[in-house]
Amino acid sequence: MLADQTILRIPGPTPIPPSVERAMNIPMVGHRSSETSDLIRAIQPKLQPIFGTKQDVVILAGSGTAALEAAVVNAVRPLDEVLVIVTGAFGARFVDICEAYGIRVHQLQVEWGKAVDPKEVTHFLEQHKEISTVFATYCETSTGVLNPIDELAKGIRSVSDALFIVDGVSCVGGVPAKLDDWGIDILVTGSQKALMLPAGLAFVAMSERAFERIQANPNRGFYFDLIKYRTNLEKNTTPFTPALSLLFGLNQALDLLEKEGLENVYRRHSLLMEMTRAAFKAHHIPLLTSDQDASPTVTAIRPADFDAEEFRKVLKNDFRMSIAGGQGHLKGEIFRIGHMGYCSPADVIQTIGLVEIALMKTGKQIELGKGVAAAQQIYLERGTK
């Protein structure tokens, strides 16, 4: 087997573009140097459109979970009552973080694989006026569901003064996000998904309303204190040592997104989703989510007549291709294919071609090439440069 080749198609970490690898591979500079200030200054205007905000976007050295926790400890106080919309494993993580801080959590549980209905949320808030904050997941990585954040934001604002905090980890950069226009209060993400970087950077964008609530909170912890980051950012610096090589990589990744054009980036992700879904539909292999609820960044497949784990093993053994399994109660029941960030129609064509081989080797009899043909057809109908 060809040494050194790996094909990474999990829903993050995602592959790194070569020019981003090169940008990270630089002689280290001082973290209080003018080079670092210049870098931080250069990044902000390129980052803001991705979050759909005119506000500064805070960058912490940390994983996506660090961003989630930063949102919680800054915006919410112990004993506050909050609503967490749980559509999968990452909704549940918000619950765990809140409970670790003694926050009183109401949960709106949604069947895994389905998006939340905004009406249920507004209905719940009308019944629970004491709720100060609503948490939702934009793309639920564990199921491949994209929740309707714009409608949720609108619905919440119409019935409540609660802040709306959104986990955008596995989609921001791959789908539109408009913090200012939609009325999101805090939107967080990590670097290792649609932003085409290794893990290690956590991003937090916040509304003026959120900023005011955070300022009024006397206990914001130390490392996660967002006021420190915002104040430092005004001087193009950071309160603690920044993950410098990742920032150099981020600057280049943002240039790539800008070069492609954000609208084209979003269109590409939709195309990759449609190609992937069409391929499995062609083989009558069930998808976990409906077309309506599907995320452009990750697709979950729920096989009816073959073993998901065996199938993943074949892909790994034959092609060193990694796709994800299920989480929680879907472990062993589904597999998930990431198609976000540094991923093209050519990558999806390859993925489907290898998937078909692996299906045959797993004992699932299919017509070879039929899924590829369905994906090719979508490309021919919808593909743009």
241 lies in the site for a copy of itself, by CB under 8 A: no
> Using CA atoms, how far apart are residues 234 and 232, in angstroms rounded to an integer?
5
| 219-223, Cβ contacts within 8 angstroms, sequence gap of 24 or more | 219/73, 219/77, 220/73, 220/74, 221/73, 221/74, 223/60
- List, as one string, the DSSP characters of 226-287: HHHHHHHHHTT--SS---HHHHHHHHHHHHHHHHH-HHHHHHHHHHHHHHHHHHHHHTTPPB
Q: Where are the alpha helices (DSSP H) in 140-223?
A: 149-159, 179-182, 208-215
Peptide bond into 13 cis (omega under 30): yes
Which of 99, 212, 368, 382 is close enough to bind a copy of itself by CB under 8 A? 368
Which of 2, 28, 79, 216 is close enough to bind a copy of itself by CB under 8 A? 2
Q: How many CB atoms lie within 10 A of CB 213?
A: 20
350 lies in the site for a copy of itself, by CB under 8 A: yes
> Using CA atoms, how far apart are residues 176 and 29, in angstroms rounded to an integer?
34
Coil, helix or strand for 180? helix
Q: Which stretch binds a copy of itself (CB under 8 A): 135-143, 212-220, 291-299, 362-370?
A: 362-370
17 lies in the site for a copy of itself, by CB under 8 A: yes
Which of 95, 159, 227, 357 is close enough to bind a copy of itself by CB under 8 A? 357
349 lies in the site for a copy of itself, by CB under 8 A: yes
Cβ 25 to a copy of itself, closest distance in Å? 7
Which of 30, 329, 365, 385 is close enough to bind a copy of itself by CB under 8 A? 385
28 lies in the site for a copy of itself, by CB under 8 A: no
- 1 versus 28: smaller Cβ distance to a copy of itself: 1
354 lies in the site for a copy of itself, by CB under 8 A: yes
- 58 versus 354: smaller Cβ distance to a copy of itself: 354
Longest dimension (CA), the chain: 63
195 lies in the site for a copy of itself, by CB under 8 A: no
- 2 versus 304: smaller Cβ distance to a copy of itself: 2
Token digits of residue 230: 């915002």
318 lies in the site for a copy of itself, by CB under 8 A: yes
- Distances in Å between the Cα of 166 and the Cα atoms of 186, 203, 214 are 6, 12, 16
Tell me, rounded to whole angstroms, the distance of Cα 144 from its chain centroid: 10
Q: Which stretch binds a copy of itself (CB under 8 A): 69-77, 148-156, 164-172, 257-265?
A: 257-265
26 lies in the site for a copy of itself, by CB under 8 A: no
> Using CA atoms, how far apart are residues 17 and 25, in angstroms rounded to an integer?
13
Which of 256, 266, 270, 283 is close enough to bind a copy of itself by CB under 8 A? 256
Cβ 63 to a copy of itself, closest distance in Å? 24
- Do 19 and 349 form a contact (C-beta atoms < 8 A)? no
50 lies in the site for a copy of itself, by CB under 8 A: no
- 22 versus 119: smaller Cβ distance to a copy of itself: 22
Which of 96, 99, 181, 260 is close enough to bind a copy of itself by CB under 8 A? 260
Which of 106, 154, 209, 361 is close enough to bind a copy of itself by CB under 8 A? 361
Q: Which stretch binds a copy of itself (CB under 8 A): 54-62, 63-71, 111-119, 254-262?
A: 254-262
78 lies in the site for a copy of itself, by CB under 8 A: no
- Do 193 and 50 form a contact (C-beta atoms < 8 A)? no
Site string for a copy of itself, 326-345 (x = CB under 8 A): ----------------xxxx
- Distances in Å between the Cα of 285 and the Cα atoms of 9, 33, 314 are 19, 55, 18
> Using CA atoms, how far apart are residues 149 and 138, in angstroms rounded to an integer?
6
Q: How many CB atoms lie within 10 A of CB 114?
A: 18
Q: Which stretch binds a copy of itself (CB under 8 A): 16-24, 103-111, 121-129, 216-224?
A: 16-24
Which of 218, 259, 263, 329 is close enough to bind a copy of itself by CB under 8 A? 259
Q: Which residues of the chain form contacts with a copy of itself (CB under 8 A)?
A: 1-5, 7, 17-20, 25, 256-257, 259-260, 264, 268, 317-319, 321, 342-347, 349-350, 352-354, 356-357, 360-361, 367-374, 376-377, 379-380, 383, 385
